[in-house]
Amino acid sequence: MGRFSRSILHRPDEEAGKAWPAIVIGLFVAFGGVLFGYDTGTISGILAMPYWQTLFSTGYVNTQGHPDVSPSESSAIVSILSAGTFFGSLGSPLFADTIGRRYALIASAWVFILGVILQTAATAIPLFLAGRFFAGAGVGLISALIPLYQSETAPRWVRGAIVGAYQLAITIGLLLAAVVDYATQDRQDTGSYRIPVAVQFAWAIILISGMLLLPETPRYLIKRGQYDKAARSLSRLRRIESNDSAIQNELLEIKANHDYEMSIGKSTYLDCFRGPMLKRQLTGMGLQALQQLTGINFIFYYGTQYFKNSGIQDPFTIQMITSCINVVSTLPGLWAVDKLGRRPLLLWGAVGMCVSQFLVAMLGTLTAGQDSAGNIIVYNVAAQKAGIAFVCIYIFFFASTWGPLAWVVTGEIFPLKTRAKGLSMTTATNWLLNWAIAYATPYLVNYGEGYANLQSKIFFVWFGACFICISFVYFFIYETKGWSLEEVDELYSEVSSARKSAAWTPKTTFAQRQSAAAAATAGTTAETTATEKADGSDGASHHDDHPTDHATV
């Protein structure tokens, strides 16, 4: 583990200052992913708790004859979180570009706390739904703001691992949710669900406390015209004096890039879909949409119930195992993202997910059936267990590639002027598809009139999406490994095809261009002034040549 961490965190010799402050700050901010992962993961176990089913039932009885929430109510409970996150992520620029990235994260955590209070107090579906919505709004804000903060503070040579650590925190949150759900599932009181929900207070308070101590991002301060504060912030991140040439050169490049962007005009949401920004915006939105369509949240939202339907005797245990695999598998992705690059990882990850989902679909469809009441009949238990194994292999490929890299890539591809708005829409796309999958899954999977009753055939849908992922990466994902955010902006300006992006190297910086433009302007001004002076001198000499003319006249 020590060698693993050293290989990730080894600072290139040409990089000035110390790396550990920015890395520690980025990793702490990634802790916000625990809120995201825990909140989305805990609902799967809660929906399967007998006490919760009885307390929140409105009269529906499931196929086992036990009081439960109906499939439509289950769909609403799961998906309302994603509806909140959709609106929360869209609203994130209002906070991020107004009060700053740091205070926006603090405000988002308070919105999340409101949702947790309502869920903890609930004993019926309406209040529980309201709590899920507000918790979702907080998670949506946080999920857009954390990659933004990390991208703007991380050193370029380790930015992929730092932003990817956000996904690691999400997986840890999912694991913690599975553990707490498992510990309280058999309680015959409100503690069965209130304890898992109330634990989230701790995550939010930790995030708020830490953000009060951390600096604002230098790029936001440059955006606000606060150059001295930006220098102090960058100095704190790099642990060198603010007047050091390395700090001044980095700030000069950030400012030159921003000045160039602002010379074109201020940004609106529509500007994200105009001109050269359209390609980047659609790339980010497509990447986040496909991340959801790979089927990962089917496993973590409905996995407990699915494993139970597949004949697994202890589905909670399987859920904990898949959560552990999710956490551990993220680690090789964090190592590889800044070593191998974004394109290879996303491409081969998509291939691995595609094969795994196809095999899960085939094994589940061919070795299980249903009786007239809709109960699952397993013809081959060994094949069902093999299907679970391929689910685990799929999780490995997702967690080491598409899980972290979707956040890494979308955090890199937008210029400072539109970064908060662009990221908000890519994150909103993630949550929109998250909501659609969460809402539609019960109708697609469950048995009964008005339901598609796909059962394991749902994995054919995820297989098809993973197949599309392969082509998407090949044609649209640029290789951004090792470049600063300003150099990534230059990459998109100069390279028209993603397939050629790996061979690109920057020729000039924005600061050099700005200096050249200023020198050219100064040269033109000097030449004009000299010409005017020369014309003036000529006029004077003509008058001197004929001094007597005036006297004669």
Provide DSSP, 496-539: --GGGGGG---SS-HHHHHHHHHHHHHHHHHHHHHHHHHHHHHH
Give the Cα separation of 465 and 273 in Å (integer): 24
Query: Which tens digits make up the pLDDT trace of 363-402?
Result: 888 887 776 666 677 778 788 788 888 989 999 999 999 9
Share of the chain above pLDDT 90, in %: 48
Q: Which residues of 232-265 are buried (b: 16+ CB within 10 A; e: fewer)?
A: bbbbbbbebebebeebeebbbbbbbbbebbeeee
Does residue 451 carry a pLDDT above 90?
no
Query: Which tens digits make up the pLDDT trace of 318-334?
Result: 777 888 898 999 999 99
Say if residues 309 and 376 touch (Cβ distance below 8 Å): yes
Does residue 546 carry a pLDDT above 50?
no
Question: What is the value of pTM for the model shown?
Answer: 0.79
DSSP SS3 for 67: strand
What residues contact residue 374 under an 8 Å CB cut-off, 6+ apart? 63, 447, 448, 453
Does residue 167 carry a pLDDT above 80?
yes
pLDDT at 442: 75
Say if residues 414 and 284 touch (Cβ distance below 8 Å): yes
Query: Which tens digits make up the pLDDT trace of 48-93?
Result: 889 999 999 988 888 778 898 888 888 889 888 888 999 999 999 9
pLDDT at 551: 38
Residue 16 pLDDT class (50, 70, 90 cuts): low
Residue reference for tokens 């955006």: 223
Does residue 490 carry a pLDDT above 50?
yes
pLDDT at 210: 93
pLDDT at 547: 44
Distances (CA, A) of 276 to 78, 189, 281, 475: 37, 57, 9, 16
| Average pLDDT rounded to a whole number, residues 18-23 | 80
Give the Cα separation of 272 and 278 in Å (integer): 6
Residue 534 pLDDT class (50, 70, 90 cuts): low
Say if residues 456 and 314 touch (Cβ distance below 8 Å): no
pLDDT at 336: 92
Say if residues 168 and 331 touch (Cβ distance below 8 Å): yes
Give 290: exposed, middle or buried? Use CB within 10 Å, 0-12, 13-18, 19+: buried
Give the Cα separation of 473 and 382 in Å (integer): 35
Query: Which tens digits make up the pLDDT trace of 497-530?
Result: 999 999 999 887 666 666 665 665 655 555 555 5
Does residue 143 carry a pLDDT above 50?
yes
Residue reference for tokens 């433009």: 517
Residue 309 pLDDT class (50, 70, 90 cuts): low
pLDDT at 528: 58
| Average pLDDT rounded to a whole number, residues 10-22 | 69
Closest of 100, 108, 93, 92 to residue 207, by C-alpha: 108
Give the Cα separation of 401 and 473 in Å (integer): 12
Does residue 8 carry a pLDDT above 60?
no
pLDDT at 263: 76
Closest of 178, 194, 195, 192 to residue 314, by C-alpha: 178
Does residue 10 carry a pLDDT above 80?
no
| Average pLDDT rounded to a whole number, residues 528-533 | 58
Highest mean pLDDT among 33-37, 242-246, 475-479: 475-479
Give the Cα separation of 23 and 510 in Å (integer): 26
pLDDT at 211: 94
Residue 268 pLDDT class (50, 70, 90 cuts): confident
Please state the φ and ψ torsions of residue 224, each to the nearest 5 degrees: -90, 5
Give the Cα separation of 77 and 435 in Å (integer): 11
| Average pLDDT rounded to a whole number, residues 163-185 | 89
Give the Cα separation of 160 and 163 in Å (integer): 5
> CA 88, 91, 93, 96 torsion: positive or negative?
negative
pLDDT at 39: 86
Higher pLDDT, 435 or 447: 435
pLDDT at 186: 85
pLDDT at 301: 64
Does residue 543 carry a pLDDT above 50?
no
Give the Cα separation of 450 and 465 in Å (integer): 25
Residue 105 pLDDT class (50, 70, 90 cuts): very high
Does residue 160 carry a pLDDT above 80?
yes
Give the Cα separation of 235 and 43 in Å (integer): 43
553 C-beta neighbours (distance < 10 Å), count = 5
What residues contact residue 466 under an 8 Å CB cut-off, 6+ apart? 294, 295, 350, 353, 354, 357
Higher pLDDT, 306 or 262: 262
Does residue 111 carry a pLDDT above 70?
yes
Helix boundaries (H) for 269-340 = 277-293, 296-309, 315-336
pLDDT at 90: 93
| Average pLDDT rounded to a whole number, residues 157-166 | 88
Higher pLDDT, 32 or 299: 32
pLDDT at 386: 87
The rounded mean pLDDT for the chain is: 85
Residue 535 pLDDT class (50, 70, 90 cuts): low
Does residue 407 carry a pLDDT above 70?
yes
Higher pLDDT, 383 or 139: 139
pLDDT at 527: 59
pLDDT at 530: 57
Element (H, E) at 345: helix 342-366
DSSP SS3 for 195: helix
Does residue 548 carry a pLDDT above 50?
no
What residues contact residue 146 under an 8 Å CB cut-off, 6+ apart? 29, 30, 32, 33, 105, 166
Give the Cα separation of 140 and 273 in Å (integer): 22
